[in-house]
Amino acid sequence: MDNKPELDNTILAKLHSRDDSALLKEIDDISCTNSDIVMLLAQYQTLSEQDDELFDAWYDSLCEAQLRVLKAFEILRSHLEQRI
């Protein structure tokens, strides 16, 4: 948990950046299938609407690649919402 402030600063910097190409490159390097990503996003959407403890337990069990995909998703979603 000591990395959390550093991680938050990294995410904030990506949120403020208007260039998504580096972020997209990061997730392009992850070896997973399209079905893996769809399942991850479906779980994320469903569990984020549920009990906080259930969501927290699920989130804490994710591997680094899954966390990178979710963070990229949220950053890209935020950028899209700002443009609309």
Examine residue 15 and state whether it is found in any structural domain, yes or no: no
What integer is the mean pLDDT of 6-22?
62
What integer is the mean pLDDT of 2-19?
56
Domain count, the chain: 1
Examine residue 61 and state whether it is found in any structural domain, yes or no: yes
Examine residue 70 and state whether it is found in any structural domain, yes or no: yes
Q: Quick one: pLDDT at residue 57?
A: 95
Taking CA 7 as the corner, what is the angle to CA 41 and CA 54, rounded to the nearest 5 degrees?
A: 40
Examine residue 62 and state whether it is found in any structural domain, yes or no: yes
Average pLDDT, the chain: 82
Examine residue 18 and state whether it is found in any structural domain, yes or no: no
Q: Which domain holds residue 82?
A: 33-84
- How far CA 52 is from CA of 5, 41, 47, 81, in Å, comes to 21, 17, 8, 25
Q: Is residue 77 predicted with pLDDT exceeding 70? A: yes
